[in-house]
Structure 1
Amino acid sequence: MNKLFLAILISASTLSTFAQSEVTEQEIENHIKFLTLEKNGGRYPGTKANKRVVRYIIKDFKASGLNAFEGGFKQHFKAKLRIKEGEAEKPLAKTCNVIGFIEGNDPKLKHEYIVLGAHYDHLGLGGPSSKSDKENAIHFGADDNASGTAALLEISEKLAAHKKDLKRSVIFIAFGAEEQGLLGSKYFTEHPLVPVENIKLMINMDMVGRLNEQKHVYMGGAGTFPGGVDFMKELGTSLDLNPVVHAGGVGGSDHVSFYKKGISVLGMHTGGHPQYHTPEDTLELINLPGEKMVCEYIFQTILKKASSNEELYFIAQD
């Protein structure tokens, strides 16, 4: 009897530890540190380094207990790479989106989906999208978008620890080849793994690592779902943030691909900076406590919408 009681206590302790899983500054830093390693060379599509990053994301998804769709965590596609004017076209690059999900618990609402996304690729050694005059220099992309990828991994882990609270299902996508023209998100929306009409909200994180002293979190698309503007303002304020909320202003990252399919979106970021698309976008400039706050904001957004019975539907914006 004593052994049985001890086993129950250990099991309960383990479950409690898992249920209390939290976003931490250390884990955010560890993720960004790996993603910006020199050997990962700027996470350029089609490279061995890019594949190494994919393996890292899949390993983390599995550790958090995310499910894979039929066919596994990778959604393969070929990317047409951007070139400088006058250059010969490059061969199509083999790359992929990395996708996992948590199934909701409501018999009806589990067939509705909230998507959380962030692109994991960057510019490699520069190329036509670089803002730097340095030739063949690694563009580390700590904010763009190792910060968003780290947030994706941390938020997915925390939501998995709260999966019993979810009525709707949540899909997590690390997009490939965003820097080549939103190619990963375009591919997913053209080859969706669930019915497009069942995706009720897509939240995209692109450059969420540089929260300023005013604690501004910028977002576009809050008017594309019912009550979105007021909801995002009030939730952000309650978390000691100063959200800058736009009803429209859908912007130019991966959420655009979803908006074009008539899906409600939120494009989240912490603002531009001089290091954008240069080799100087490095880990040392990331505001780790700030990114943790942004992660909590997005976690709470998904938790509240995925655990609610409220109807979610698309509202077009000018």
Structure 2
Amino acid sequence: MKKHILTFLVILISGINVIAQVEVSADSLKKHVYVLASDSLEGRGLSTHSGLKAAHYIAGYFKEFGLETIGDSYLHPFNTYFSTTNLVGHNVIALIEGSDSKLKDEYIVLGAHYDHVSFYYNSKGEKIIYNGADDNASGTSGVIELGRALKENSHLLKRSVILIAFDGEESGLIGSTKVLKQEFFPADDIKLMMSIDMIGRYSESQQCVIGAMASVNGGNDILEEVAKNHQIKIKNSGKKVSQRTDSGPFGDFGIPALYISSGIVGPYHKPQDDAETIDYNGMKEITELLFDLTIKLAEQEKLEPSKYLIAQTKNGGVPRLRYGLKASFGSSHHHYSDDFYNGKNKFSYEIGLMTQLKITKNISLLPEVLYSSMGSGFPDGNFRTQSISTPVSLVLASGMGQMNSRFYVSAGAYYSYHFSGKAGGESLDFENRFHQSETGLVFGIGLEVSSIFVSLNFKNGFSEIMKEQDAPKMSSRASYFTIGYMF
């Protein structure tokens, strides 16, 4: 018996932790999910009575735990408009003050959206409710229980912690955007944010995603140290702040913002996302991990954004220099400048590499190197060139909007070198009959969403294709549908 006690003491003294610093109750998490995801709350839609009931439920526990309000109430209403309809949402906000005389004026935000997509009536008149147990009663329950655990252990917190249950996430990250605009606390003093969004399906995914840990300096090292004390399999998704969840507006402000999730698995945005489908032991393990991670982050001497996040914020949500791949598919033809007709359209495509260099927040330079295959109907039969094309364009883009999206237009010039080609089945005679080089204009319009872009692009050749003086004057025309990705 003495030997077992001694072994246990050695483990404790040596700092080998086999459990979290605090134990979160799986039963408490389950209780919250069953209430928030109940049919009586009708899917917790934005600006609905059931959504407001959910907000009061969360605020009731913040009060029970003795958390401080910011202002006179835990509930902070906001207005948003859809067409001419004014909708009123409610963020639920509470504060746990840190214990360090200097660091307590800096904040870590723990947030989760409590709203979901409400309900509808089917053709039979039956009410179909989207209870959103995983999305995101699970994350909201985690924030509630983190509030309890952190308050009970507030002596371990050097920085202050703000807990927020966001409304309006499903309608476009409205609540989290409003929080930063309403300035209940100085946004410059927020050193890190966590968006806890869908943590209820660890048994299915077998991983906990912790996104953008590298958006804070030294973040990966901090996570690695904390993770040693937990049996959870962690997927670290790098430095880029997710725009799919409430971390997005914070990241746009230049605040390191993490995305915590057990993954989009199971009945996502379906009526079957009910409380009985949730893995509560997995939720418990993730919440305990987040408790330890919060304590560790709160005690750091400095919490600073990474150079990548700083550069991205200064450049309107887009890195100053980035590279990408693109593929364009469409049709091309010859334009006969002295005649009233054009050549027949033939399938055309381009694939290759591009680089985008930001000049200002909304203007960038886009050089490309492409393999191009262009064709047209020709008096001697089909005409086709195989070329290396090097367009260079100026891109004018809107600012990044919701879901990390923006519109853009582009215009520039291109140079193409034809290294081979055929007309009527015969190889092109570049020495005597055809020009091997081509120049012209390029222009387009497109949409970028989370580094994926789609666009319509056009090429308008200026230079003549044929060398012979008595040959018809003709130049190339092409139009493409383009899809690409920027790294």
TM tier relative to shorter chain: 0.7 to 0.9
Q: Aligned residue for 1:239? A: 230
Letter in 2 for 1:39: S
* Percent identity for Structure 1 against Structure 2: 35
Structure 1 residues 149-158 or 42-51, which shifts more? 42-51
The alpha-carbon distance between structure 1 residues 34 and 126, as it changes in their structure 2 partners (threshold 3 A), is: same
Which is strand-richer, 1 or 2?
2
How far did 1:136 drift?
4.7
| Contact in 2 for aligned 1:21/1:157 (Cα 8 Å) | no
Q: SS of the residue aligned with 1:197?
A: helix
What's the counterpart of residue 90 of structure 2? 96
Corresponding residue pairs, total: 285
Partner residue, 2:157? 166
- Which residue identity lines up with residue 172 of structure 2 in the other structure? G
Given candidates 159, 168, 182, the residue that maps to 1:191 is 182
- C-alpha change, 1:135 and 1:183, in structure 2 (3 Å) is farther
Give, in angstroms, the shift of residue 46 of structure 1: 1.4
How do 1:266-285 and structure 2 match up within 5 A? 266-285=258-277
Q: TM (normalized to structure 1)?
A: 0.85
Structure-2 residue corresponding to 1:68: 69
Quote how far apart the aligned CAs of 1:256 are. 0.6
The CA deviation at 1:213 is: 5.8
Of 149, 152, 166, 1:175 maps to 166
How far apart, CA to CA, are the structure 2 residues paired with 1:246 and 1:73?
33
RMSD: 1.9
> Of 223, 226, 234, which aligns to 2:214?
223
TM-score w.r.t. length of structure 2? 0.56
Q: Which has the higher contact order (CA 8 A, sep 6+)?
A: 1
SS at match of 1:179: coil
CA contact under 8 A between 2:197 and 2:261: conserved in structure 1? Answer: yes
DSSP 3-state at the match of 2:85 = coil
- 1:291 matched to 2:283? The reply is yes
Kindly indicate whether the alpha-carbon contact (under 8 Å) linking 1:96 and 1:184 is maintained by their aligned counterparts in 2. yes
Q: Which amino acid aligns with 1:159?
A: L
Alignment of 1:118-137 (within 5 A): 118-125=112-119, 136-137=127-128
CA distance 1:255–1:126, change in 2 (3 Å): farther
Alignment-mate amino acid for residue 281 of structure 1: D
Which of 141, 144, 153 is residue 153 of structure 1 equivalent to? 144
Compared CA separation, residues 43 and 295, structure 1 to 2 (3 A): same
Structure 1 residue 276: Cα displacement? 0.4
| Bigger share in helix | 1
> Which runs of 5 or more structure 2 residues have no equivalent in the other structure?
1-20, 310-318, 320-487
Q: 1:261 aligns with which of 240, 253, 256?
A: 253
Gaps of 5+ in 1: 1-19, 82-88, 128-133
Contact 1:80 1:180 in 2 (8 A): no
One-letter amino acid of the structure 1 residue matched with residue 70 of structure 2: F
Q: 1:71: how far off? A: 2.8
| C-alpha distance in 2 between matches for 1:282 and 1:39 | 13
Return the offset for 1:111. 0.4
Match 1:111 to one of 105, 109, 120:
105
Quote how far apart the aligned CAs of 1:21 are.
Answer: 7.4
Tell me the amino acid that sits aligned with residue 181 of structure 2: E
1:51 corresponds to which residue? 52
- 2-structure distance, mates of 1:160, 1:190: 27
- Measure the CA separation in 2 of the matches of 1:121 and 1:149: 9
Matched with 2:25 is: 24
Q: Aligned equivalents of 2:81 and 2:32: distance in 1?
A: 28
Question: For structure 1, which segment, 134-143 or 52-61, has the greater mean C-alpha deviation from structure 2 after superposition?
Answer: 134-143
Q: CA deviation at 1:79?
A: 3.1
Show the counterpart of 1:313. 304
- State the partner residue of 1:207: 198
Contact between 1:145 and 1:206, CA under 8 Å: does it hold in 2? yes
